[in-house]
Amino acid sequence: MSVEEIIGFATGALCVWLAVRQNVWTFPIGIVNNVVYAVLFTSTGLYAGAALQVVYLGLGALGWFWWLRGGAGGGNLGVRSTPRLAWVGALVAVCALTLTLVWVLSTWTDSSAPVLDSVTTSLSLVAQLMLGRKWIGNWVVWIIADVVYVGLYLSMGLYLTAVLYTGFIAMCVVGIRDWRRELRARAQAQAQADSTPDDGREAVAPVWPSVGTTP
């Protein structure tokens, strides 16, 4: 168990917990996590996973901006349902990226697990992009990726990291629950606002005479 794995465990757990809580600090903490895991994965021959951390840096910066300025009027971005076309695009992207990465890793590197490394990398890229857009579906993609990650890391002897990703699965389930709850609450509030009659006039409070004055 290396120092990098321990630091990656701590920052990774904190990063996902902050994402579940919709705390924008998930992005700077995630950037630290990316640097640590880039070093760790390079040393263990998981080259696609290492390259993924570099891409994460860019996606993390983009997601940071979206969460702060991607909402209506340049405000904070709110939780949203995943568009149907986004699911189609996600499936196509995962398949295309996986095939490309398997070929690259099998041809140009001595990757210890080219197929699993490619699948998890592709799923994670799509999930991270969906997280940046605050689409609830990101948690579903993360769960699929994390299940595969656990098996991969166990086979590589990265037991602490495997435990971390098992915890990630539980956090993703909580994320789905909490984000759906917020989306429903916002929809209900909007429905109530829409159903409130508005004749365009502001309510005027009655003016009562003060004590001691002559009516």
Residue 205 lies in a domain: no
- Residue 199, pLDDT > 60, answer no
Round the average pLDDT of the chain to a whole number and report it.
Answer: 83
Work out the pLDDT band at 215, boundaries 50, 70, 90: very low
pLDDT at 68 over 80: yes
Count of C-beta atoms within a 10 Å radius of residue 86? 16
Beta bridge partners of 135: 80
Range of weakest confidence among 3-12, 126-135, 137-146, 192-201: 192-201
Residue 197 lies in a domain: no
* CA torsion, ordered 93, 49, 37, 41, to nearest 10 deg: 180
Does some domain include residue 195? no
- C-alpha to C-alpha distance for 45 and 63, rounded to whole angstroms: 28
With respect to residue 107, please indicate whether it lies within any of the assigned structural domains: yes
Identify whether 169 is part of a domain: yes
Would you say residue 34 has pLDDT above 60? Answer: yes
DSSP assigned state of 134: T
Distances (CA, A) of 176 to 41, 84, 180, 187: 29, 17, 6, 16
**Structure-model confidence comparison of residues 144 and 188, the more confident one:** 144
Output 198 or 24, whichever has higher pLDDT: 24
The verdict on residue 50 lying in a domain is yes
Q: What does the block give as tokens for 101?
A: 């990465």
Give the pLDDT score at 29.
Answer: 93
Instruction: Give the residue with greater pLDDT, 180 vs 45.
Output: 180
The end-to-end CA distance of the chain, in Å, is 84
Q: Of 2-6, 88-92, 116-120, 148-152, which gets the smallest average pLDDT?
A: 2-6
Let me know if residue 79 belongs to a domain: no
Q: What is the mean pLDDT of residues 18-38?
A: 90
Q: Is residue 207 part of a domain?
A: no
Residue type at 82 in one-letter notation: T
Domain of 58 in residue numbering reads as 3-71+88-184
User: How many distinct structural domains can be found in the chain?
Assistant: 1
pTM: 0.77
Instruction: Output the pLDDT for position 44.
Output: 77
> Looking at residue 150, what is its pLDDT?
92
> Would the pLDDT of 161 be above 50?
yes
